[in-house]
Structure 1
């Protein structure tokens, strides 16, 4: 391949596209005055997402305005994922909605279901946080790095650990 003037040759595979940006249209998010269309997720104004972001579908994800998603996020959106406004999401965070059957026969047959994940407004999820299916994080809550959220966390608390436990109130 001969390089073109002003362009350097690209070595290795092309950068991965996450698909979320093209599936979640600008201007259809919270506060835009327009509704999302059909099978399309939404994002508010001034949302910043650092690639790569890996997701199952992209159209079950709702992201509020001024939210920041750092590198290597995984949003498995077999069910709804709702992220509030002004949320800070650290690197390597996983928001997981799929869950599998406990019954061995149904699990072997491939049965799967999804439970929603909800992140409130002004939440900070530290690096490496995992939010399990059906769990929600209340507004103004901080979840420490590496924590695993298995149950709902109330608003305005600091939670850490595996499983994540409230260590103190923030307000």
Structure 2
């Protein structure tokens, strides 16, 4: 279970500071081998992590100033993104009270946890001794490797394009 990249940040409960997440995820992904659909993967990982942080700020802290810890890592065997948070917000999330939103009603709020669960492969919440812990994981698919063809094989031995005769 090797770690390719890891970073830990202490973030204030200030929604405006979450703009930093896009760059943090980009830096993490730069340590990865090329992944399939890299732009979409970057967007989805940023969105899921952003939603998680927004929920911590708005729900766990409920407007009270504070800070929380965000650890992001890129691991191999298999290649995956992991983000973990810890906070001491006064409100505790209840899995038993949560239910998916009714999308037919076009909700304005309440989509965060649902969206995170749609984007990620694994979502876990625990509370131990007043500390809220979230862990989200997304498996990443390495992009297929393109075989390297030497220029001589394409151009011919003398460096000129080969003839199409004989086909």
Higher normalized strand content (fraction of residues): 1
Relative to the length of structure 2, the TM-score reads 0.26
Bigger radius of gyration, 1 or 2?
Answer: 2
Relative to the length of structure 1, the TM-score reads 0.25
